[in-house]
Amino acid sequence: MWRDTWLIAALGLRRSLRDRSLIIQALVAPIVIALVVGAAFGAGFSLNVTIGIADADRSDVSQQITQGLVGSGGDGIAFSSVEDVADVERSVDSGVYDAVIVMPEGLRDAALAGRPAQIDVVGRATDPLAQSVAESVAAGVAAQLQTARVTAAAASSAGVDDVGAAIQQAVTTPPPITVTTGEIEGTFSVMAYFAPGMAMLFLFFIIGNGARSIIAERNQGTLPRILAAPVPPASVLLGKTAGVMIVGIVSMSAVWLITWLGFGAYWGAPLGVFLVIVAAVTAIAGISLLITGLARTEAQADALTTIVALLFAVAGGTFFLGATGVLNTLRLFTPNGLALSAFVDLSAAQAGVLEVMPTILLLVGIGVGTATVGLLALRDRVLT
């Protein structure tokens, strides 16, 4: 029986190797798409904001705050002093600054006298992110002024001699919270997300084609002839299933090795990656067999496969990285979404095999369960 099974699987494999459409879908498409995404977003998160500081107050306090901010820019954010404080709106509108923080005339005196005091932020309606960043920086400036006015009030009520010096000191004293930058080790390539995602999308088409060949062979009359020979029906079904699974595992592993070794996209611990590939292919093959088993005609199986593949791709997050809301929950109800979350754990969270084992087992369970139902249906309808 096993020899028959292997012969049928090997025949399927040989036919796959000659199929140019399969090579396009299994290898070229996922790799090219991953490369395009990699080229578009290879640099990771990127943001550049230029915030102007307009000091219309020109007091000792406002000058100190301006100096402190202008020196404090960093990667992705720059502060610069605005020369023309009269026409801040125009310089924001024309894009010289993404947003401007304005310290109006008389700010220091109002602040220190305990009168209402206000800092203005001028942003561009088309750039809400820069505006909100400027707003939060302005809140920090307001806090510095607040510290100065609280210090002034407290110093005079406590009987401090030199209130002016205390105010100066309050503006320059750093807060008791220090903020340091720590870099996270290890990088993540967006290709390690989109390559497996796209490979799984196209696997639905490839494996679906393989599974449908059972119906096609019955219609062409080759299947009854095989069954007339002393070949058990189980060998035919197992051989077909093994054939499409080997094609799936080999093609997805090839996508992995090419994007990893050729383009440096690290998918994570190799054993874990391989096991997730096997599990994902098992789940997709099971679902394809179920579709084939339930469909009445080859055309119906074809239509169902395309619809299921595209719906799973959309819901499983194949096209988007880092979605929130509905998509983030929905993806865990799809086999490809589950596999993608395991791939992300292996690559971005640097997880080990054991940590992704529950997902691997779940995927294999989905595959075996759906395949059993599908194969039973096929045995009853196609082989008899």
Q: Which residues in 287-316 contact another protein (CB under 8 A)? A: 302-303, 306-307, 310-311, 314-315
Applying CB under 8 A, does 146 fall inside the site for another protein?
Answer: yes
Tell me if 375 contacts another protein by CB under 8 A.
no
Dihedral Cα 167, 70, 107, 126, nearest 10 deg: -150
In the complex with another protein, which residue's Cβ is closer, 155 or 291? 155
Give 131 or 235: the residue with its C-beta nearer to another protein.
131
**Gap between the Cα atoms of 65 and 167, Å rounded:** 12
User: Per CB under 8 A, which of residues 326..345 are in contact with another protein?
Assistant: 326-328, 330, 344-345
d(CA 337, CA 199): 12
DSSP string covering 305-363, please?
HHHHHHHHHHHTTSS-SS--THHHHHGGGSHHHHHHHHHHHHHTS---HHHHHHHHHHH
- Of 77 and 226, nearer to another protein (C-beta) is 77
* Selected range binding another protein among 173-181, 212-220, 239-247, 360-368, rule: CB under 8 A: 173-181
> Is 145 one of the binding residues for another protein (CB under 8 A)?
yes
The residue (of 177 and 261) whose beta carbon lies closer to another protein is 177
> Would you give the distance in Å from CA 111 to the centre of its chain?
46
* Torsion sign over Cα 21, 282, 359, 308: positive
The H or E element that residue 255 is part of is: helix 233-257
Question: Does 71 engage in binding with another protein (CB under 8 A)?
Answer: no
From candidates 84, 118, 358, 380, binder to another protein by CB under 8 A: 118
Number of residues that bind another protein (CB under 8 A): 124
State which amino acid sits at residue 140.
G
Considering the rule CB under 8 A, would residue 18 count as an interface residue with another protein?
Answer: no
Looking at 9-17, 55-63, 113-121, 247-255, which segment touches another protein (CB under 8 A)? 113-121
Window 33-52: residues binding another protein (CB under 8 A): 33, 36-37, 39-41, 43-49
Of residues 140 and 233, the one with the C-beta less far from another protein:
140
- 3-class DSSP state for residue 54? strand
Asked if 86 interacts with another protein (CB under 8 A), we say no
Sign of the C-alpha dihedral computed for residues 95, 96, 98 and 99 taken in this order: negative
Choice between 178 and 384, CB closer to another protein: 178
Angle at 120 between CA 141 and CA 66, to 5 degrees: 40
Any idea what the Cα angle at residue 303 is, between residues 20 and 234, rounded to 5°? 75
**According to CB under 8 A, which one of 2, 71, 182, 261 is a site residue for another protein?**
182
Among 176, 221, 229, 261, binds another protein (CB under 8 A): 176
Q: Least separation, in Å, of the C-beta of 59 and another protein?
A: 14
Q: Does 368 bind another protein (CB under 8 A)?
A: no
Which of 9, 119, 214, 284 contacts another protein by CB under 8 A? Answer: 119
51 phi/psi in degrees, rounded to 5: -110, 125
20 binds another protein (CB under 8 A): yes
Choose the binding region for another protein from 8-16, 27-35, 271-279, 368-376 (rule: CB under 8 A): 27-35
> 282-306 in b/e burial notation, b at 16+ Cβ within 10 A?
bbbbbbbbbbbbebeebeebbebbe
| Sign of the dihedral defined by the CA atoms of residues 139, 141, 144, 148, in that order | negative
Instruction: State in angstroms the smallest separation of the CB of 75 from another protein.
Output: 4
